[in-house]
Chains A and B, each alone.
Chain A
Amino acid sequence: GEDVEQSLFLSVREGDSSVINCTYTDSSSTYLYWYKQEPGAGLQLLTYIFSNMDMKQDQRLTVLLNKKDKHLSLRIADTQTGDSAIYFCAESQGGKLIFGQGTELSVKP
Chain B
Amino acid sequence: AAGVIQSPRHLIKEKRETATLKCYPIPRHDTVYWYQQGPGQDPQFLISFYEKMQSDKGSIPDRFSAQQFSDYHSELNMSSLELGDSALYFCASSLRLAGSRLYEQYFGPGTRLTVT
Contacts and interface: CB of A to CB of B under 8 A. Distances in A.
Interface string B30-45: 0101010000011111
Given A31-B101, A95-B48, A95-B55, A44 B107 contact: yes
B106 interface: yes
Given A94-B56, A95-B48, A95-B56, A101 B42 contact: yes
A45 interface: yes
Given A31-B101, A43-B107, A48-B104, A96 B43 contact: no
B103 A102 contact: no
B42 A88 contact: yes
Contacts of A50: 102
B90 A42 contact: yes
B108 A42 contact: yes
B103 A92 contact: yes
Contacts of A15: none
Given A44-B107, A96-B56, A30 B101 contact: yes
Interface in B9-59: 31, 33, 35, 41-45, 48, 50, 55-56, 58
A41 B4 CA distance: 13
Given A42-B90, A43-B90, A96 B48 contact: yes
Contacts of B109: 41-42
Contacts of A35: 107
Contact of B42 (A42, A48, A102): A102
Interface of A: 1, 30-31, 35, 41-45, 48, 50, 88, 92, 94-102
21 contacts: A1-B44, A30-B101, A30-B102, A31-B102, A43-B90, A43-B92, A44-B107, A45-B104, A45-B106, A48-B102, A88-B43, A94-B56, A95-B50, A95-B55, A96-B33, A96-B56, A97-B92, A97-B105, A98-B45, A99-B42, A99-B43
